Amino acid sequence: MMRKTVLTTLVALLLLSVVFMQPAAAQTTTLRVLVHQNPPMVEFMEMFNQQFQERHPDIVIDMSVVNANDLSTVTQTRLSANDIDVIDIFGFSNAVQPYMENVDAPNWQQLIDAGLLMDLSGQDFINNYDAATIADAGTYNGGVYAINLGRVSYSGVFYNMDLFEEYSLAVPTTWDELVAACQTFTADGIPCMTAGGKDGWPIFVGAYGMIGAIYPDQAALVEGLWTGTIKWNDEKSMEMWRKMQVYARDMIEPGASGVAGDAAPGRFASGAVAMFPGGTWYAPAIEASEPDFEWGYIPFPASDTPEDNQYLFGKYDQGWAVAANTPNADAALLYLAEFSDPENYQAFVNAVGFIPTQPTAQLSTRIGEQVGPYLANFRVGYEQYWVAPRGVGQYAAPWASFFQPFGTFDDPQTLADTVQADLQSGLDAIGG
């Protein structure tokens, strides 16, 4: 009996201590942050979070990392559950243009219209970014809903300097030179290019430079496709498809479809392949894999005229937004304010290789040196403008991955006709 009483008292004391300890625990704010998988960026964020927590011991950062393909899905579900405070959001793109009909608003616009993102207008840290970026990549209906952290190019190609030197090859400036260089490498058993094909999109994004070489004004391309003045199977587009087939069949190494997106930079840096078409965001991963590896970055030389190969196409990449209903608004805004501090921002840009969107930041990285000469020719790329009408077929996109060995097509004309027919099907459905 005595033992029972003692035991009961102990349990009661334990429960009471748990109850009374709660207010102390509640003083700590847990700030929930969502980012997409980009190894150098994640590595930087972990370091930044640690420093932030040291400066603010009352705030604990709980950062989740998801694949870029799933970012939109996870954003939706966690915002709906009011389970996230700070969100990684890509620069606002794919806005509906006046000539577009029967389309759906992009997800960022839906999130704002539903009142799920906080209007950041008036926050001091916004002034750290250049006005054009705030206007183009974070403003909607007069409110500022995101600060964008940098632009990236995705239409260039990394090349292995040592291999080019070893084979006495000049860096290609035209399509013919590129084809010849690839033939030289493959003839000697060195695959010409690799890509992180397991993630799907790196195969076709690697060929976006080809669209740019044929259609340098990509906003006009999208309008032309919508209004019917440009067709995916007209003679000009056929040149693109023919080159894309060569890219998919002869340039990208067999087996690239199994290479994960975050493993591809390491494969290139190992010297296993001569070139690596892809975005500037891969540069820090290449450097981290092999710090002594000598590499360069050029616009994809897809045109036969060197002057047409001077453009870099890209997008506004990662930005920060805050959940409108966050119970941790003060901590979230403090997080963004400290991140936006010029010193922290410079460290971020150095780590991830973005083209900065703060005017005071320097582009002093190796990738910065490489893209510097082309920055005056930087243009927002096709995919950032494109919105498909409802009813389009699944092939209504200029993707090199539709060709064998990654897809089913082995004839450029057949593929071009299919792509145009799938697009036309959606355009014809308007008002139908």
Question: Where do contacts with another protein occur on this chain (CB under 8 A)?
Answer: 68-73, 76-77, 79-80, 90, 93-94, 104-108, 110-111, 113-116, 197-201, 205, 253-259, 315, 317, 383, 386, 390-396, 402, 404-408, 421-422, 425-426, 428-429, 432
CB 230 within 8 A of CB 193: no
CB closer to another protein, 310 vs 418 = 418
Q: How far is the CB of 34 from another protein (least distance, A)?
A: 14
CB 273 within 8 A of CB 253: yes
Candidates 319, 364, 371, 313; CA nearest to 340 is 319
CB closer to another protein, 172 vs 212 = 212
Q: How far is the CB of 389 from another protein (least distance, A)?
A: 8
Left if phi > 0, otherwise alpha if psi is -120 to 50, otherwise beta: which for 102? left
CA 162/CA 143 separation, integer angstroms: 49
Helices (H), 206-299: 208-214, 218-227, 235-246, 264-269, 283-289
CB closer to another protein, 88 vs 239 = 88
Amino acid in the structure at residue 17: S
Amino acid in the structure at residue 356: P
Greatest pairwise CA separation for the chain in angstroms: 96
CB closer to another protein, 41 vs 334 = 41
Amino acid in the structure at residue 294: E
Tokens representing 192 are: 């010409």
Q: How far is the CB of 247 from another protein (least distance, A)?
A: 15
CB closer to another protein, 347 vs 430 = 430
Q: How far is the CB of 417 from another protein (least distance, A)?
A: 13
Q: How far is the CB of 191 from another protein (least distance, A)?
A: 10
Q: How far is the CB of 385 from another protein (least distance, A)?
A: 11
Tokens representing 239 are: 């040149």
Measure CA 121 to chain center: 25
CB closer to another protein, 172 vs 196 = 196
Cβ neighbour number for residue 257 with a 10 Å cutoff: 18
CB closer to another protein, 189 vs 254 = 254
Using DSSP bridges, classify how beta strands 29-36 and 59-66 pair: parallel, antiparallel or unpaired: parallel
CB closer to another protein, 59 vs 152 = 152
Question: Which residues are CB-contacts of 84 (< 8 A; sequence separation ≥ 6)?
Answer: 32, 33, 34, 64, 75, 78, 323, 326
Q: How far is the CB of 265 from another protein (least distance, A)?
A: 15
Q: How far is the CB of 26 from another protein (least distance, A)?
A: 25
List C-alpha distances in Å: 194 to 222, 300, 383: 29, 14, 22
